Amino acid sequence: MPNFNEDFEFSKSTHTNNKIREILLDNIPAAIDVKDSTPEDDKNGVDKWVIRKHNLHPLSVDVKSRRDDPKEKGWGDDLALETFSNVDNKIIGWTRDERKKCDYILWFFEPTNRSVLVPFPMLCKVYQELWEEWKVTYKTSRQDNGSWFSESTFVPREIIWNAISNRFEGKFVERRYGKNFSLLNFAQVIE
């Protein structure tokens, strides 16, 4: 069973931090610097701040570092999504928590330097809708955090991206108004 304290120390290593900085600077438009979060930010789910040029507001990132790359090991290409941060007290996990003050989630797989960067609001919405289905469909395990257990489901990366794409490609109109809805009719109604 994974150990929270060991994983936390691993995530703070110099190699990991240097690679994360490089990944964020390379993938966030207008990024010029990456700063560590404050302890207060960390409590709100923010590990890094990406500073951007042109007076753009900084973007917050929660980093999920993994010691193993499941893809390299032949276990599949999955991402750990937390269902409960405290199983016994039924406290929802970060992935479903819409109060989390975070713009992006970055998974970093240390042995291969592979990474996945996902917009948190989109991931959160999708997981709020699908977590129960995914929990019974994909591997789910508990993590020992000392005095409590958290729980995560390991969902294939491709499934997550497909769910985000399907949820946000404009299907909300169909969900709200039905399959026979026509934008032409809608445009006439609002004129």
Taking the model in full, what pTM does it have?
Answer: 0.82
Contact status, residue 80 vs residue 66, Cβ threshold 8 Å: yes
Element (H, E) at 68: none
Query: Hey, is 119 helix, strand or coil?
Result: strand
| Whether pLDDT at 1 is above 80 | no
Q: How many domains does the chain have?
A: 1
The pLDDT value given to residue 75: 87
In a domain, 148, yes or no: yes
State which residues form the domain around 147: 4-169
In a domain, 103, yes or no: yes
Q: Which residue has the tokens 């600077």?
A: 25
In a domain, 191, yes or no: no
In a domain, 91, yes or no: yes
The pLDDT value given to residue 88: 95
Contact status, residue 61 vs residue 24, Cβ threshold 8 Å: yes
List, for residues 91-142, the tens digit of each pLDDT value.
Answer: 999 999 999 999 999 999 999 999 999 999 999 999 999 999 999 999 999 9
C-alpha pair distances (Å), 93 with each of 32, 124, 167, 174: 31, 10, 21, 30
In a domain, 190, yes or no: no
| Whether pLDDT at 173 is above 60 | no
In a domain, 178, yes or no: no
The pLDDT value given to residue 9: 54
In a domain, 184, yes or no: no
The pLDDT value given to residue 169: 82
C-alpha pair distances (Å), 104 with each of 10, 28, 95: 20, 10, 11
Helix residue ranges per DSSP H, 12-146: 14-27, 39-43, 70-73, 120-137
In a domain, 182, yes or no: no
List, for residues 28-52, the tens digit of each pLDDT value.
Answer: 999 999 999 999 999 889 999 999 9
| Whether pLDDT at 67 is above 80 | yes
Contact status, residue 138 vs residue 146, Cβ threshold 8 Å: no
